[in-house]
Amino acid sequence: MDDVLSSLLKRQALSLQNNYKKIAILYPWGYILERKSGASKRVGLLTDYLKSESYQVWLFTTGEKKIFDLLYLLLVSFR
């Protein structure tokens, strides 16, 4: 009986593993979210593309210490 139940559950249960790929970007100039400079625009476009391809993006930048957790994007600011 236990074998039957575990067999049924294995077929219907969802995988709890995160199947998306992860990438970290180091952006040392700050103000990445405003996208005013050329570099911040290019990195912003890169993160948009990576998110659309189901990557989990960790973006490390300078500035005030704060953490934003957006869908597929984690922004970590530090001094």
Beta-bridge partner residues of 26: 60
Residue 61 CB neighbour total at 10 angstroms: 20
Beta-bridge partner residues of 23: 57
Q: Cα(70)–Cα(75) distance, rounded to whole angstroms?
A: 8
Per domain, the residue ranges of the chain are: 17-78
Residue 11: per-residue pLDDT: 53
Q: Cα(35)–Cα(55) distance, rounded to whole angstroms?
A: 20
Whether 79 shows a pLDDT value over 80: the answer reads no
Residue 56: per-residue pLDDT: 87
The answer to whether 51 touches 21, Cβ cutoff 8 Å, is: no
pLDDT tens profile 34-61: 888 899 999 999 998 998 888 888 888 8
